[in-house]
Every structure is written in structure tokens, then in C-alpha cells.
């Protein structure tokens, strides 16, 4: 009996069984089990992704949505500095929550150095806001420094400590308790739009909950000096970087400090509500009297 032929078996009634042997194979090499499975039960292969298709075009003006494109068109019509492709200012990005707030990032063109206050004024923004039924428009200066750009996008008066995690695209902004509650905005709109504008996922955190704050607090209680680096001057006095946080050197207590200069200071006061740290370079040389 051939393997490729149907098996013949005697039944109890004397007839012959001509059904194909389930152990046999067909001429094309497939076994009978595979042939007997209905086609509807076999899963169809998933289509492979195609890489020859062009990527979706970005919105004009660096907008993050179609609603933001409309704001860019209104600004281009109302602001002379933005009307021409060769104008002194250009729009870098726009993030918008319709009816609530729009954030617009501008920068001077490379060949022209123009302050934003000269190119775009309050009257221009007021006209655009009226066409948007009173929607607030915030103009942000685009900056190469990610920390400064994020601080401006959030509407902060000065740059707070910012921990950047480029691998995750995340920015941890360390603020005092007062700013932590107010900067996020209604339903977090301010922080959400700032994230969309800058391209960083912004997380607002309390600076007093960091390990660096605890270390400086321990040094203040022990009256132990710490080393800081001068970053520049502010209205309150020289600004220092100490353990990744920012401190203000009390004005009138030191001579002019140069940026990047290392200085040994003593922490005098820490305000968790405002997130401020104050330091002094007057190190006490007399031992502290023992407590009775």
C-alpha cells in the first residue's frame, strides 16, 4: 500500500473506507491536518510597517496644534515685525489652550538683534487677544539655555534650580511651597503649556523635599561652612550654587565676586515657603559656647 494513496480498511458492514489517511501527506508536502483546518480560523499575518512613507508635516510657526496655528496667523497679521519672512523676529513655537491661554516663543533672527519689547508690544497683543475673545497671550523669549527657557515659559521671575534628564526628556523644576501651588496654574494649564512649548516634560517639585536641602539644613544647624560657586549678581546680592541649589550671599558682606569663583560660606537662613537660601561669607573663628 502506497503512503500517498488512500488507506483501505474493512468496516464491520463489509464496506471499504476510502477516507484519506490522516498520517499521509499530499503531493505538495502539507499534511492532512493543515488541510483540514478551515481558512476562516487561520489568523491573517499583520502588515509590516512601511518606512518609505514621508513623515507627517509639522504645523507652521512651530505650533503644537491646529488651534495654535490660528494664533500664529493672527500675530503675523497684527505684528509688523512678524509679517515679513525677513522681519526682525520669528515665531519658534506656540502652545495653546483655546479660550484660556496661549504661549508664544519668539527669537530675533540671526542677522538682526532686536529686543522683543521693540518688535512686539502690548497694543499688538491686545488686538490679537480681542480677536480671541479675551484669551491671554504670553510672549516667551526663546533661549539656548534649557533652564532659562523653561523658567521663562513658566512665567518665573528668576531661574530656579532645574534638574534636566535628557534621556527621559524630563525637567524637574525645584520651587518653594508658595510657587509650587501658584505656578502650575488652573488645572495645571500653565505647566502643561510650558511643557508643550519647550518640549520638556516639566515636573514641579518642592525644593525643601530634596536631599540637598536636607544637607544644607544640617550644615546650618551645625554652623558648618560649605563651598559654593558664584553664578552672578541679583538685586539681593551675589548668587551662589551650593549642592545644586541656589543661595543668595548677603549684600554688603563681601567684595565684588567674579562668576565661577569658589567661596566658602555659612548658611544663615532657609525659607521653604519661598524656596530661598541665604548665606554669609563671614565665618566665625571663635568656638561656639557650650549650651547649658
Confidence grade of residue 259 (pLDDT, cut at 50, 70, 90):
confident
The verdict on 173 and 225 lying in the same domain is: no
Position 285 pLDDT exceeds 80: no
**Of residues 24 and 80, more confidently modeled:** 80
Residue that terminates a domain, selected from 95, 110, 142: 142
Range in 101-115, 135-149, 249-263 the model is least confident about: 249-263
Residue that terminates a domain, selected from 164, 180, 206: 206
The total number of structural domains that make up the chain: 3
- CATH number of the domain that residue 250 is part of: 2.40.50.140
The verdict on 168 and 197 lying in the same domain is: yes
Q: Which three cell numbers stand for residue 148?
A: 532659562
The verdict on 201 and 218 lying in the same domain is: no
Residue 20 lies in a domain: no
Range in 83-87, 91-95, 280-284 the model is least confident about: 280-284
Which residues on adjacent β-strands are paired with residue 217? none
The verdict on 233 and 177 lying in the same domain is: no
The verdict on 88 and 105 lying in the same domain is: yes
Residue 260 lies in a domain: yes
- CATH number of the domain that residue 128 is part of: 3.30.300.20
Residue 36 lies in a domain: no
The C-alpha atoms of residue 285 and residue 97 are separated, in whole angstroms, by: 57
pLDDT computed for residue 31 by the predictor: 47
Residue 250 lies in a domain: yes
Tens-digit pLDDT profile for residues 181-218: 889 888 889 999 999 999 999 999 999 999 999 999 99
The C-alpha atoms of residue 83 and residue 255 are separated, in whole angstroms, by: 49
The verdict on 159 and 182 lying in the same domain is: yes
The verdict on 109 and 132 lying in the same domain is: yes
User: Which residues contact residue 174 at a Cβ distance below 8 angstroms, ignoring those fewer than 6 apart?
Assistant: 160, 161, 162, 163, 205, 206, 207, 210, 245, 275
The DSSP element (H or E) to which 84 belongs, if any, is none
The interaxial angle of helices 66-78 and 122-131, nearest 10 deg, is: 130
**Of residues 151 and 32, more confidently modeled:** 151
Residue that terminates a domain, selected from 142, 160, 195: 142
pLDDT computed for residue 3 by the predictor: 45
Residue 52 lies in a domain: no
The verdict on 185 and 233 lying in the same domain is: no
Tens-digit pLDDT profile for residues 88-122: 889 999 999 999 999 999 998 875 555 555 467 88
Position 23 pLDDT exceeds 70: no
Task: Report the relative pairing of strands 245-249 and 276-280 from DSSP bridges.
Answer: parallel
Range in 84-88, 177-181, 239-243 the model is least confident about: 84-88
Residue 18 lies in a domain: no
Percentage of the chain surpassing pLDDT 70?
72
Owning domain of residue 152: 146-206
Residue 169 lies in a domain: yes
Amino acid at each position: 500500500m502506497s503512503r500517498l494513496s488512500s488507506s483501505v480498511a474493512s468496516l464491520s458492514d463489509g464496506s471499504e473506507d476510502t477516507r484519506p489517511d490522516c498520517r499521509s501527506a499530499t503531493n505538495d508536502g502539507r499534511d492532512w491536518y493543515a488541510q483540514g483546518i478551515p481558512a476562516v480560523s487561520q489568523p491573517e499575518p499583520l502588515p509590516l510597517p512601511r518606512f518609505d512613507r514621508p513623515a507627517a508635516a509639522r504645523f507652521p510657526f512651530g505650533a503644537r496644534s491646529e488651534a495654535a496655528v490660528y494664533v500664529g496667523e493672527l500675530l503675523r497679521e497684527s505684528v509688523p515685525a512678524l509679517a515679513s519672512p525677513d522681519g526682525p523676529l520669528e515665531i519658534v513655537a506656540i502652545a495653546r489652550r483655546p479660550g484660556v491661554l496661549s504661549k508664544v516663543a519668539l527669537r530675533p533672527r540671526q542677522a538682526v538683534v532686536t529686543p522683543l519689547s521693540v518688535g512686539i508690544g502690548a497694543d499688538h497683543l491686545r488686538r490679537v487677544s480681542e480677536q480671541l475673545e479675551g484669551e491671554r497671550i504670553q510672549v516667551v523669549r526663546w533661549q539656548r539655555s534649557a533652564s532659562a527657557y523653561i523658567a521663562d515659559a513658566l512665567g518665573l521671575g528668576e531661574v530656579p534650580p532645574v534638574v534636566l534628564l535628557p534621556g527621559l526628556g524630563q525637567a524637574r523644576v525645584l520651587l518653594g511651597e508658595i510657587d509650587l501651588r501658584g505656578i502650575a496654574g488652573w488645572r495645571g494649564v500653565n505647566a502643561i503649556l510650558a511643557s508643550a512649548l519647550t518640549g520638556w516634560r516639566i515636573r514641579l517639585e518642592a525644593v525643601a523635599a530634596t536631599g540637598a536641602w536636607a544637607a544644607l539644613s544640617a550644615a546650618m544647624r551645625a554652623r558648618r561652612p560649605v563651598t559654593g560657586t558664584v553664578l552672578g549678581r541679583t538685586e539681593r546680592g551675589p548668587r551662589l550654587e551650593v549642592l545644586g541649589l541656589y543661595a543668595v550671599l548677603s549684600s554688603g558682606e563681601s567684595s565684588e565676586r567674579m562668576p565661577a569663583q569658589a567661596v566658602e560660606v555659612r548658611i544663615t537662613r532657609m525659607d521653604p515657603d519661598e524656596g530661598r537660601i541665604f548665606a554669609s561669607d563671614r565665618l566665625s573663628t571663635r568656638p561656639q559656647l557650650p549650651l547649658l
